[in-house]
Amino acid sequence: MCCLIGPGDSGKSSALDAIEAALSSRWIAFTETDFFCCDTSQQILIEATVGELSKQLLSDERFGLHLRGWTRQGDLRDEPEGNDEGVLTVRLSVDATLEPVWELVNERASSQRILSNRDRALFGLVRLSGEDARHLTWGQGSVLSRLTGDIDQAANNLAEAYRAAKASANLSAVPELAGAALVAQKQATALGAYAKGAYHPGLELGRGGFSTASIALHDAGVPLRLAGLGTRRLATLAIQRGAIKEGALVLIDEIEHGLEPHRVMGAIAQLKRAQQASVAAGSPVGQVVMSTHSDVALTEAEAASIFIARRDRGSGATTIGALAREADFGKLLKKTPRALFARKILLCEGATEVGILLGMKDLPPWLEARAPLEHLGVAIADGDGTQAPALACALARLGYAVAIFRDSDRRMTEEQRANCLGAAVPVIEYPNQLNTETAALLPASDAQVDRFIRFAKERKGQDSVNAALAHRFGEKDFAFDRPFADWDADLVLTKDEQKAAIADAAVRKDWIKELQVGREIAPLLLDIAVHSPASPLSTTLAAVRGWLYA
C-alpha cells in the first residue's frame, strides 16, 4: 500500500494519472495541454514496470517472451537471472500527432510488442477518482456488465419493459443480474458503503432511452447513484475491484472524499485485509496507490506506506520520496500527523514549546496584520525531545523547510549541530543554556511572577506548588502565598535567584509540561516578552516568528 501526500499541485494526481494512462484498458485521448509546458516537440514517455504477474501474462503466447528481471537490489535487466522476479515494462509514448502508442519494453527482443486495450486489461487496474457512476449500471463497458456475463435474457425482458413500462421489467428475476447485484452489495458493504436493504437490478426511466445502461443497481427501490457521495465511491471501488480475480492495481485519488473518518479507516483496513488474505492464500496481492489530505488516512496507512511528493518550482519536476527510509516517524504520525501535509514544519523540542506557540500564534501583537500560519502552509509539531535533530534532517531531505525550536539547558551534540547545518535546518534556542521556564521568569515583573505562580496553583493545586517551592528554597515555614514583591524581606536570595528557583521548581514538577497548559499560559509569556524586548525570551520568540513568516 502506497499513500502519496504533499502540498497542492505537487503532482500526486498526475502520478496516478500516469499509472492509469500506461496500464488502463481505456483509450486515453491526449491534447496539447498534457505535454510539459504544452510543448509537443518533447514527447510524453511513461514507463511502468509491473511484477507479481498472473499465469496468463507469463504465458509465451502472451508476454512471456518479453519478461525482464527485477533484482533483489531493485535493478532492472532485460535478461532475467536466477533469483530475479519476472516483470513486464509497459511504455506509453505520445508525440506531436497526439496518437498514443502502448508497447512492451525489452531491448533483447527483435521488435517491441504493441499492446491493445484487451492486452492492458490483463494488468487489472482499477481507478477511483471523482464519481464514475457508469459502473453502477449494466451499460456497455461497465464492470457490472463484466461481472454478469451473458445478459440476453435481460435484453428480452427490457424489450417487454419498453412496452409495458417499469412494472413489467421484473429484472430481479434474471438470475445473472440478481447474483451480480448481491455480489456487488457484499463487496461494497465490506468496504464501508451503507445499504438500506438488498441491492437489486432495477429499471431507470428517462436515462437516455432503453438499453442495458438503463439497468442500474438499486438499494431499497432507489438507484444507488442517488446515494451519498461516499457510498457511491465505495460501491464503485468495490465493484471494480471485485471484477479482478487475481490481485489488482488500485488507484484512489483522495480516499477521504465524501467519507466520515471512521469510514476512511474502515475502507483502508478492508483493503489491507484483502491484501493479507491474498498473502495467506499465496495468490497475487496487488497494490494500492492512493493520495490523501486526511491525517486519519495517514495514520491508518502507517509510515512504511507513506510517500512524499514534491514539485520543484523552477524545473517543474516532481520527486517522490519514501518517508520510512529517512527516519522513524512513528511518534510524529501519532502526535502531529497533519504536519506532514505542510510546506514548512517547526519542530519543537517538546509539548511545552508546541503549546506555547499554538497559544501565541493568533494573539496580538504576535499575529498583527499577518495571515494565519495555517494559510501559509506552516505546521508546529512535537519533535520528541532529543529526536528532533534527526527528524528535522530527515524531513529536510524529503523537501520540507524545517527549523528546530528548543531549550538550551541541554546541549545538542556537535554531530547533531553539524547534521542540522548540512541539511540547512536552523536551530532556534534560548542563549546561555536556559530552559523555557527560566527564560520566561527572569525578565518577568513581580506581578507577572505572581500570575505565573497563581496559574500553577490553579492547575497543580496550592498545596503541591507550595510544597515544591518550600523544598526548592529550603524554607519549610515560609509563606509562599504572599505577593512575590514581599519575599525579599525574609529571603537572602536576589530577585534573579528567586526567579531561577521558582523556574527550577516548575521544571522539576512539570507545571507547564503539557500541550494544553502551554496554550493556556501563552498569553502571560507573550506579555512578558512584549514588556522585556531585549530579554532572551523576547529575542528568541522573535526569531521563531521571523522564520515562521519568512
CB 337 within 8 A of CB 379: no
Which three three-digit cell numbers place residue 29?
485521448
Task: Give pLDDT tens digits for 423-478.
Answer: 999 999 999 999 999 999 999 999 999 999 999 999 999 999 999 999 999 888 88
Band (pLDDT 50/70/90 cuts) for residue 97 is: very high
Dist CA 399 CA 321 (whole Å)? 9
CB 517 within 8 A of CB 459: yes
Task: Give pLDDT tens digits for 333-369.
Answer: 888 899 999 999 999 998 999 999 999 998 988 877 6
Dist CA 492 CA 502 (whole Å)? 15
Band (pLDDT 50/70/90 cuts) for residue 528 is: very high
Q: Identify the pLDDT of residue 23.
A: 95
Strand, coil or helix: 249: strand
CB atoms within 10 A of CB 461: 11
Q: Which residues of 135-159 are buried (b: 16+ CB within 10 A; e: fewer)?
A: bbbbbeebbbbbbbeebeebeebbe
CB 489 within 8 A of CB 538: no
Q: Identify the pLDDT of residue 18.
A: 95
Measured distance between the N- and C-terminal CA atoms of the chain, rounded to whole angstroms: 36
Region for residue 9 given its phi and psi (left: phi exceeds 0; alpha: psi -120 to 50; beta: otherwise):
left
Query: Which CATH topology does 1-124+244-325 take?
Result: Rossmann fold (3.40.50)
What integer is the mean pLDDT of 487-514? 92
Q: Which residue intervals of the chain bear CATH 3.40.50?
A: 1-124+244-325
Q: Is the dihedral of CA 350, 352, 355, 361 positive or negative?
A: negative
Backbone angles phi, psi at 70, to 5 degrees: -105, 115
Q: Identify the pLDDT of residue 211.
A: 63
Q: Identify the pLDDT of residue 15.
A: 94
Band (pLDDT 50/70/90 cuts) for residue 130 is: low
Dist CA 317 CA 486 (whole Å)? 66
The answer for residues whose C-beta is within 8 angstroms of residue 111's C-beta and 6 or more apart is: none
Dist CA 339 CA 391 (whole Å)? 12
Query: How much of the chain, in percent, has pLDDT values that exceed 70?
Result: 91
Strand, coil or helix: 89: strand
Residue, of 173 and 17, whose pLDDT is higher: 17
Range in 59-63, 212-216, 394-398 the model is least confident about = 212-216
Dist CA 527 CA 448 (whole Å)? 9
Q: What is the pTM of this model?
A: 0.81
Dist CA 220 CA 182 (whole Å)? 13
Task: Give pLDDT tens digits for 5-46.
Answer: 998 888 999 999 999 999 998 888 999 999 998 999 999 999
Query: Average pLDDT, whole number, for the chain?
Result: 88
CA distances from 490 to 470, 477, 481 (A): 13, 11, 13
Q: Which of 17-21, 122-126, 297-301, 478-482 has the highest mean pLDDT?
A: 17-21
Q: Is the peptide bond before 365 cis (omega within 30 degrees of 0)?
A: yes
CB 301 within 8 A of CB 3: yes
Strand, coil or helix: 288: strand
Which three three-digit cell numbers place residue 405?
525550536
Strand, coil or helix: 52: coil
Tell me which amino acid residue 471 is: H
